[in-house]
């Protein structure tokens, strides 16, 4: 039986990973719909291997590193397969594998629970085919890796509830630690997991003399990997850059982006709460039904497993709601994607637990397998039907310009309508055309046959140019260790061109503009205008290419 389950899980992983790889390739290379954060991670991995000054710290410290590090093996093959970087396909491969892992983990939760085979398969398919999962399973963003870590942590913590096994608790901690190295908001489910483990252990060992020591040990097992990831990453950033938390202090960090782009908190807490609730309902329309049903059944069965997905996914959703209300993040639908695995796992939990989940070693407080209290088959059937009905609602939500600013142009990219002259469709086309100007500029610079280090630029916006170029070593970028010296004396150090962006919005933090405030306007008396490139798509600036005076 164990071998059969292993083969089934392998089949789920291979099938879903291939599905996301194909859809991701069609969306990115096929239709040119590229995501900025995904391309920036590809650019970071490329800089670590193929820039004019390759070194591992070139991946940067503004964002956590795992999304870029996971792409290094694929990026290493880009000299043979340029599309891995020029079209961001290394990110597509990374997200396809990890989202396939997330789907396989949801399937594993069902098999661990002993849920009916039909229910496990139905929930797995519906989770895998959710339009947000399909899109983020192949677009190179961090959501796939984060969901994999979150689902892995949920699975192993649910196992621990039944097995009291140290291996399960350790694996949960490792999953949460890797989650932190993917996204900062993993600290929220880590805190929830620590509190849950502490409460469970204290309850299990009530009356024992050493229950506080046992509780401290269990909490340490689940939180030590997270603490290690937190302190090592902060210390490494501080040692190399002088800033421990660049996400909040750097001119390129999220706090600076919000300030420079003019984004503020929602008008009031009510508006923020309304958006957050709407986003969660779009991604998990079944949650208002599933949460009370699973909760009531959990109380009836005295089943603590029900609390695990509620606490871990709920912590992520609460963190995002609070972050948006306080103006420290954007109103992005993808930030609430944890609602999707929450709905899937709660549906699996409607069925009573049967059998014992696999464990290397049962703890002394492992839960004995009791005769499960049955539930009418109509309950899980109805939940599955609600999950299926939710897919069109999620698709409609992704087509909303208010709720889904990063996703709603996807339809225009996949199904172009050349004769549609509406303002909405024009806006969608501009969003879909983001980064096309950077690609054109990269082709132009490649055609000049420039030597290494000939083009000086900041990657604040210019990452799309570097990624699209087949000659990344021709650029001098901030991750180069001699960037400041070259920026101060470009002509003396072999720079022929400077790529400039307007000193407005996010452009105020562009390193070239900070050193030469009038560069975009008049070349700052060190360069003459060679070329002006108006932006075709949204979120891209107009570019100006200046030839450096006195350059060879």
Three-state DSSP string of 273-306: HHHHHHHHHHHCCCHHHHHHHHHHHHHHHCCHHH
Nearest one of 385, 287, 289, 272 to 335, comparing CA atoms: 272
Q: Give the per-residue pLDDT at 260.
A: 65
This model's pTM is above 0.75: yes
Token match 């306007």: residue?
521
What gap in Å lies between CA 447 and CA 435, rounded to an integer? 19
Question: If we measure between CA atoms, which residue out of 514, 512, 486 comes closest to residue 499?
Answer: 512
Give the residue ranges of the chain where pLDDT is below 70.
1-4, 253-256, 258-268, 363, 368-374, 552
Q: What residue spans of 329-435 are helical by DSSP H?
A: 339-348, 378-398, 410-414, 423-432
Residues 199-226 pLDDT 10s: 999 998 887 888 899 999 999 999 999 9
Place of tokens 């920026």: 487
* pLDDT at position 253: 65
What pLDDT score does 264 carry? 46
pLDDT at residue 3, rounded to an integer:
67
How many CA atoms within 13 Å lie on the side-chain side of 245?
7
What are 13's two structure tokens? 């992983």
**Cβ-contact 353, 390 below 8 angstroms:** no
Give the pLDDT confidence of 279-327 residue by residue, as tens digits: 999 999 999 999 999 999 999 988 999 999 999 999 999 999 999 988 8
Of the candidates 95, 174, 175, which has an alpha carbon nearest to the alpha carbon of residue 132? 95
The Cα–Cα gap between 333 and 46 comes to 28
Question: How many residues are there in the chain?
Answer: 552
Q: Which two tokens mark 20?
A: 């996301």
Q: What is the pLDDT of residue 265?
A: 46
Extract the tokens encoding 234: 């902060």
Task: State the first-to-last Cα distance of the chain, in angstroms, to the nearest integer.
Answer: 71
- Tell me, rounded to whole angstroms, the distance of Cα 8 from its chain centroid: 27
Q: How far apart are CA 356 and CA 340, in angstroms?
A: 26
pLDDT at 506: 86
Pairing mode, strands 527-533 and 543-548: antiparallel
User: What is the 3-class SS of 42-102, one letter each residue?
Assistant: HHHHHHHHHCCCCCHHHHCCCCCCHHHHCCHHHHCCCCCCCHHHHCCHHHHHHHHHHHHHH
Measured between alpha carbons, how far is 282 from 403 in angstroms, rounded to an integer?
9
How, if at all, do strands 475-476 and 455-456 pair? parallel
User: In the prediction, which pLDDT does 256 show?
Assistant: 66
The tokens for 123 are 């929930």
């Amino acid at each position: 039986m164990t071998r059969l389950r292993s083969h089934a899980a392998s089949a789920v992983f291979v099938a879903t990973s291939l599905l996301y790889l194909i859809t991701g390739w069609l969306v990115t290379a096929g239709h040119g719909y590229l995501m900025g954060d995904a391309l920036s991670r590809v650019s970071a991995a490329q800089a670590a291997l193929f820039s004019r000054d390759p070194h591992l710290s070139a991946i940067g410290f503004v964002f956590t590193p795992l999304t870029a590090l996971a792409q290094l093996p694929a990026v290493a093959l880009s000299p043979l397969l340029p599309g891995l970087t020029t079209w961001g396909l290394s990110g597509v491969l990374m997200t396809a594998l990890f989202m396939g892992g997330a789907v396989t983990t949801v399937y594993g939760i069902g098999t661990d629970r002993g849920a009916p085979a039909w229910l496990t398969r139905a929930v797995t398919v519906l989770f895998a085919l959710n339009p947000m999962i399909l899109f983020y399973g192949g677009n190179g963003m961090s959501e796939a890796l984060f969901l994999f870590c979150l689902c892995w942590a949920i699975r192993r913590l649910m196992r621990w509830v039944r097995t009291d096994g140290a291996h399960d608790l350790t694996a949960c901690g490792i999953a949460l630690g890797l989650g932190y190295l993917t996204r900062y908001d993993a600290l929220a489910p880590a805190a929830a997991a620590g509190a849950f483990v502490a409460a469970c252990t204290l309850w299990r060992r009530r009356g024992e003399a050493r229950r506080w020591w046992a509780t401290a040990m269990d909490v340490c097992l689940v939180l030590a990997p997270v603490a290690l990831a937190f302190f090592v990453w902060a210390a490494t950033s501080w040692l190399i850059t002088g800033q421990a938390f660049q996400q909040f202090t750097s001119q390129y960090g999220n706090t600076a982006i919000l300030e420079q782009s003019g984004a503020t908190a929602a008008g009031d807490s009510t508006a923020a709460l309304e958006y957050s609730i709407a986003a969660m309902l779009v991604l998990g329309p079944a949650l208002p039904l599933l949460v009370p049903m699973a909760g009531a059944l959990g109380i009836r069965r005295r089943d603590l497993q029900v609390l695990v997905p509620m606490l871990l996914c709920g912590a992520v959703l609460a963190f995002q709601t609070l972050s948006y209300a306080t103006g420290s993040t954007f109103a992005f639908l993808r930030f609430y994607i944890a609602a999707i695995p929450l709905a899937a796992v709660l549906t699996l939990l409607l069925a009573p637990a049967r059998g014992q989940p696999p464990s290397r070693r049962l703890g002394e407080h492992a839960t004995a397998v009791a005769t499960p209290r049955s539930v009418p088959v109509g309950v899980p059937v109805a939940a599955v039907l609600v999950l299926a009905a939710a897919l069109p609602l999620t698709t409609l939500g992704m087509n909303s310009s208010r709720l889904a600013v990063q996703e709603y142009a996807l339809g225009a990219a996949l199904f172009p309508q050349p004769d549609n002259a509406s303002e909405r469709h024009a806006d969608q086309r501009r969003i879909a055309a983001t980064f096309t100007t950077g690609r054109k500029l990269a082709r132009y610079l490649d055609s000049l046959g420039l030597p290494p280090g000939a083009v000086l630029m900041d990657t604040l916006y210019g990452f799309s140019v570097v990624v699209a170029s087949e000659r990344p070593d021709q650029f001098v970028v901030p991750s180069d260790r001699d960037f400041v010296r070259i920026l101060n004396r470009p002509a003396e150090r072999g720079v022929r061109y400077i790529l400039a962006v307007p000193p407005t919005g996010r452009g105020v933090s562009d390193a070239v503009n900070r050193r030469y405030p009038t560069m975009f306007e008049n070349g700052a008396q060190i360069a003459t205008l060679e070329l002006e490139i108006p932006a075709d798509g949204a979120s891209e600036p107009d570019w100006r290419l200046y030839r450096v005076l006195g350059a060879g």
